[in-house]
Structure 1
Amino acid sequence: MNASTPDPLAQQFVAFAVEAGVLRFGEFKTKAGRLSPYFFNAGLFDDGAKLVKLAQFYAQRLLASGLDFDMIFGPAYKGITLAAAVAMELARLGHNKPFAYNRKEAKDHGEGGTLVGAPVKGRVLIIDDVISAGTSVRESIAMIQAAGATPCGVAIALDRQEKAAENGVDMDWSAVQYVTKHLHLPVASIAGLSDLLQYLRTASDPAVVAHAAAVQAYRDRYGV
């Protein structure tokens, strides 16, 4: 699908995120210290109906991606809910997959350890909301490999498609590109910044369209 052809799933997801108040416009400071004209907060998919719909988007993107995986791993904390929800939706569609997640603090009683859920084995898909610096992915890879399994890909909701920053210096690659090129894991994202821009330019609400110029300027400056 070329850049000029809208991706229907991505457009539906962006519209859903805007309507749910998860994708907001204004002026927001990012972790890299940049002033972004938009903010995506997956923690605001905070009721049953939103979570069910979010899981449907993940499942559709995963099934369309052709990624082959045996189980799902959700890094704490946002990934825990995402892994459970997506596993449920995949099962509903006839693709029952086990899932596991980690806890931040190791437990020294009961079953112990940091991993919870199904045994981590085979080809493991990591699921998260975004990839900001790749740190969470690297930590997940280490836990999966320590369990004797193989990380095989990452699924995220939104690819910001912007340059990563290290020690205040802009890199020539994005966090997602780092994961694909240096960690050698394919990344399936429901939507990206290019999809957001397409949505803003074609929205029926003039108040939404009004944000297109600021988002385009941000992409021109920081995009990859």
Structure 2
Amino acid sequence: MIKLVGFWVSPFVLRVSWALKLKGVEYEYIEEDVFNKSPLLLELNPVHKKVPVLVHGHNVIVESFVILEYIDETWKQYPLLPQEPYDRANTRFWAKFAEEKLMRNSWTAMCSQGEEKKLCLQSALEDLEKIEGELKGKGKFFGGENLGYLDLVLGWITYLVPVWEEIGSMTILDPVKFPCITAWMQNFLNHPVIKEDLPPREKVDAYFQNQRKEYAARMGSTNTG
């Protein structure tokens, strides 16, 4: 029995769900309340206490990058990572770059104001420019004609960044500046596996509106503490 413990809007969970579906692996999904963590989550992931968690028989695997590689090595159909060692290393590099740089900068730009917002937005645009360069000449996806590891890792851009742009009154995904990413987004969102497994836009909007308010409240209490 395969189980995936997750949270409905989490990009880290969704990339694991997409990988399992691409490979045709059936699993049971268990929704977790990440704001009131269950005994199950604390038992399965006592170190980080976060989702996603993949349970495969007696094996418990945590951290989405690690889970994706585990899935790819366990179920050989529909390979996600490239076969060549250099290409695999390059894929891992860009996955880490997008997570540590673009995601953080985009999120902070949405939540913040003033100079901090300006700096984070500029950094996010520079990050995206680098990813645009990596995508050039690749085909429909980073993995060529088929969705691959890097597409799944960067999939959050397609459904979260438009929401963050709207909430933060900013523009990151300029189609003129980033034509390759714009085309990739359309291809990604139109893929049957992705289409059927995206959270509702209105629900995502409401969730991140609330997250932004909480961020502002935390920053306010920090500045006045």
TM-score (norm 2): 0.32
Counting helix residues as a fraction of each chain, which structure ranks higher?
A: 2
Question: Relative to total residues, which structure has the larger strand share, 1 or 2?
Answer: 1
